């Protein structure tokens, strides 16, 4: 029942940072950032287990590993961008958070271009008029 | 879930104690000392958070980026 621990941590941090916000808002920010990092590190372990399974499946079925690596990198970028954007948004800077999210989206698009290229080439080679 | 819950309490405690020190020093009329105390407490907490951030980034690199 790890979800209970996560929820407990969240409630605890919320109460503590409500107390701290009265006196020193900076410390409240660092406290929430610390809690967010804890939860993300905890989740990273769980995601690692899933990814090991996906990796072994890909090795068994002879899928080109480049695709798998690209997809994993995209997931990693999404993970980090989400974390950063949420921490920044919590402290009230929505515009910077939006820029972080935009950067995440653009970098994911850049990573995905080779896959999209292969996909479109496959579709074109299937067309009868491509000859 | 094997993380160190003490860090949360440490950060909250440092924050509360720093706020107290700030108030006491301000009452004694040492404004600049009060600000220095706040800054030092902030730097200490920031080191803890940055160490955690580094840990998270290393973990994400090993999991997602095959390094």
Asked if residue B67 has pLDDT above 70, the reply is no
* Chain A residues whose beta carbon lies within 8 Å of the beta carbon of residue B3: 38, 41-42
What is the reported pTM?
0.80
- State pLDDT tens for residues A3-34: 998 999 999 999 998 988 888 888 888 899 99
Kindly report the nearest CA distance between residue A126 and chain B, in angstroms.
33
Asked if residue A81 and residue A40 are part of one domain, the reply reads no
How large is the average pLDDT for residues B9-26? Answer: 89
Asked if the Cβ–Cβ distance from A76 to B65 is below 8 Å, we say: yes
Which segments in chain A show pLDDT lower than 70? Answer: 130-131
- Does the distance separating the beta carbons of B56 and A40 come in below 8 Å? yes
pLDDT of residue B66: 59
Average pLDDT over chain B, rounded to whole? 85
Same domain, A44 and A73: no
B3 Cβ contact list (under 8 Å, min separation 6): A38, A41, A42
| Burial category of B18 from C-beta neighbours within 10 Å (exposed 0-12, middle 13-18, buried 19 and up) | buried
A123 and A85 part of one domain: yes
Cα dihedral B34/B39/B40/B42 (nearest 10): 130
Per the structure, how many domains does chain A have? 2
Q: What is the pLDDT of residue B12?
A: 87
Domain segments of chain B as ranges? 6-64
Same domain membership, residue A70 and residue A42: no
Is B48 an 8 Å CB contact of chain A?
yes
Domain-located, residue A56:
no
């Amino acid at each position: 029942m790890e979800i209970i621990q996560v929820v407990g941590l969240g409630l605890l941090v919320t109460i503590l940072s409500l107390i701290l916000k009265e006196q020193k808002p900076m410390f409240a920010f660092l406290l929430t950032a610390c809690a967010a990092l804890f939860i993300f590190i905890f989740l990273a372990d769980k995601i690692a287990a899933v990814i090991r399974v996906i990796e072994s499946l890909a090795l068994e079925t002879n899928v080109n590993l480049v695709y798998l690596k690209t997809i994993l990198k995209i997931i990693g970028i999404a993970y980090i961008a989400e974390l950063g954007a949420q921490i920044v948004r919590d402290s009230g800077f929505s515009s910077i958070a939006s820029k972080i999210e935009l950067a995440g989206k653009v970098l994911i698009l850049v990573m995905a271009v080779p896959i999209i290229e292969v996909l479109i080439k496959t579709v074109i080679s299937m067309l009868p008029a491509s000859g | 879930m094997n993380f160190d819950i003490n860090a949360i309490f440490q950060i909250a405690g440092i924050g509360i104690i720093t706020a107290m020190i700030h108030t006491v020093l301000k009452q004694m009329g040492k404004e600049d000392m009060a600000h220095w105390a706040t800054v030092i407490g902030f730097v200490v907490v920031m080191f803890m958070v940055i160490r955690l951030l580094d840990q998270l980034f290393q973990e994400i690199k090993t999991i997602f980026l095959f390094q």
